[in-house]
Amino acid sequence: MTAPCGRLAAGESQGAHIGGGNDTSMTAPCGRLPAGESQGASKYWLEIGFGGGEHLLWQARANPDVAMIGCEPFEDGVIKVLNAIEGEALTNIKIHMGDARELLRVLPAASISRAFVLFPDPWPKRKHRKRRLLNPITLDLLAQALCPGAELRIGTDIGDYARTILEAMAHEARFAWRVEGPSDWRVRPDDWPATRYEQKAAEAGRRRYYLNFLRI
């Protein structure tokens, strides 16, 4: 694939594109992520399914030396983040509107140093669980994109989803669950701001699970 990372050709990835900041015409090939691509960024972090963008924008503001890549299939959330990018003149966010797995398949190996999958659609009905994003196939794609020592943060308010994630990770030798006690998965870290979906879960009285994995 030779489409530039700044914009994937519609025929190659179902209309998916990356844009954001003041630069929507990057020309770097997808085989690498050059530092100059996002104002001298030294690291690349990926958020899958950023929803309204609360967490993505917070991380971009708090970490100006990090290039944030946000994936979201729904237009409302993308527009909200693009408006914030323009209004605040943020230069370290790139957006992929579409299925994150499209992007994971073309990212260079070991190019991402932190990834977030926060409160994805739980598909609670048993017959729909095969549609859940976090499955062995997606975990394999994430393992390929994350560099050794990278961090994968996952949040959910569905106990069954947390269980199936941990079961899948138990068979994935490239990840290790970073946990020493119950507080590690019950208490959200200070540098992990709440999303609106998490806030809804809290208001509904549902327990939230915060899982942190190390890419070995």
Point out the residues that are catalytic. Answer: 121
How many whole angstroms separate alpha carbon 82 and alpha carbon 79?
5
Cβ-based neighbours of 143, under 8 Å, separated by 6 or more: 172, 174, 175, 215
98 token code pair: 């579409």
Locate all alpha helices (DSSP H) within 39-121, ordered by sequence: 54-62, 75-88, 100-104
- Written as one letter, the residue type at 46 is L
Say if residues 39 and 108 touch (Cβ distance below 8 Å): no
74 token code pair: 């729904």
Cβ-based neighbours of 167, under 8 Å, separated by 6 or more: none
DSSP 58: H
